[in-house]
Amino acid sequence: MGWWKDTATALIEPVTVAVKSRGKIKEIRAKAHLRETLSEAEWELIGKKIEGGTWKDEWVTVIFTSPIIMQILGTIFNSPDTVESANNLIQIIPNYGVLLTMVVGAAIARRVKL
């Protein structure tokens, strides 16, 4: 039963961090409104500091790469049903290859800071 709680916590924690981050950004904007306005670069820097430990971008990457992971694990553990399920999932998603390329490319670009 402990693994279920850990999984639920891992799924809910990024959402709560994002909600708290939005509140902090609103508070900072309210304080900044009293003084001169901040530049776009300063806002991005503040956002990165606040959201430094979140998983929201990585979560999207994990979701979009999960069919590929299912195919690999299904092949390794000789589970044709898993591979077939992953293939069906890929067939259902329109333009999966393009979406996967965009998501993974964005994740890499964000880490490399291109």
Give the residue extent of every domain in the chain: 1-52, 55-114
Band of residue 104 on the pLDDT scale cut at 50, 70, 90 = confident
State the average pLDDT over residues 71-98. Answer: 92
**pLDDT given for residue 27 in this prediction:** 72
pLDDT at 54: 66
Residue 73 is predicted with a pLDDT of 94
What CA–CA distance (Å, rounded) separates 58 from 103?
A: 9
Q: What is the pLDDT of residues 34-84, one digit of tens each?
A: 455 666 677 677 777 776 666 777 788 888 899 999 999 999 999 999 999
- Taking residues 3-28, what's their average pLDDT? 65
Mean pLDDT across the stretch 79-95? 92
Per-residue model confidence (pLDDT) at position 55: 73
Tracing tokens 């329109």 back to the chain, one arrives at 94
Backbone Cα Rg of the chain: 19
Amino acid at 105: G
Residue with tokens 């992971």: 69
With a cut of 90, say whether residue 91 has pLDDT above it. Answer: yes
- CA distance to 18, 41, 49, per residue, from 38 (Å): 22, 8, 15
